[in-house]
Homo-oligomer: A and B are copies of this chain.
Amino acid sequence: MARMDYDIDLQPQFAPLTLIDVGAYAAQHEPWANRTLSQVNDSVVRMGVLHGDFHWHHHEDEDELFLVLEGRLLIDLRDRETVTLEPHQAFMVPRGVEHRTRAPERTVLIMVEPAGVQPTGD
């Protein structure tokens, strides 16, 4: 069954001007952790640890960018080919576009989206 939500923290976990060691921080987390690392102006930079399938969803008013650091992320889109992201590959899903992420292995990624967005979508 597809995962419907994250273990999420919407508050920034790192103060400005502090080192954010994403690799070490990710190693402390199980799937499906979603942590807000930092707020940058009106956006947040989040870390996700995934393993398995997420559910189909979209964000009505928000673009979302994914950048893989470790592992491999598949992004399914309606009427398009599935995209596979290897480490240091990124993909931007614009607002309104339905998508589903899948991680066949443990995967660590960075997400950029507006502050306050619920990552589980509509």
Contact = CB atoms under 8 A, between A and B. Distances in A.
Given A38-B65, A67-B110, A110-B67, A92 B43 contact: no
Contact of A42 (B42, B45, B77, B90): B42
Contact of A89 (B21, B41, B67, B94): B21
Contacts of A90: 19-20, 22, 37-38, 45
A93 interface: yes
A53 interface: no
A88 B22 contact: yes
Interface string A17-58: 111111100000000000001111111010000000000000
A85 interface: yes
A88 B40 contact: no
A21 B45 CA distance: 19
B42 A83 contact: no
B113 A22 contact: no
Nearest to A15: B92
A37 B65 CA distance: 11
Contact of A20 (B37, B89, B113, B114): B89
Contact of A43 (B40, B80, B85): B40
